[in-house]
Amino acid sequence: MKTFSLLVLVLISGILLPQPSFATSWAYSFVVWDGYIYVVSEEYVDEVDREIGHVTAYSDMEQYHGNFSNAYREGTKYFSIEGVRKEEAIAVQEEDGRFIKADRESEYLR
């Protein structure tokens, strides 16, 4: 009887108590720059202008302030794209040295 009662208690607590989340499920890869979310595209760019910033915080678990990313490690550099306004898109330098386009989506609200 004690074993049955214990089993029932464990089952009920497993149902009623919230379970911890071990990872955040992001809809897309992004970087945050200058207070805005830029969604990383699949388009690479050849003509970058100048460095404008870098990732200051990385996590695939939770959100942070600053130039946060859920896909790129701290120190990853951002560049303006030649002929494209920064309000439209920026470039992110990948580990292999190529630049991938990130399109501005919305203001970053944390």
pLDDT in tens, 48-90: 999 999 999 998 888 888 899 999 999 999 999 999 999 999 9
DSSP secondary structure code for residue 75 in this structure: T
Domain ranges, ordered by start, for the chain: 27-107
Distance separating alpha carbons of residues 19 and 22, to the nearest angstrom = 9
Instruction: Say if residues 104 and 33 touch (Cβ distance below 8 Å).
Output: no
Distance separating alpha carbons of residues 75 and 78, to the nearest angstrom = 9
Mean local confidence (pLDDT), 23-33: 79
Mean local confidence (pLDDT), 27-53: 96
* Prediction pTM value: 0.75
User: Which residues 6+ apart lie within 8 Å of 63 measured at CB?
Assistant: 110
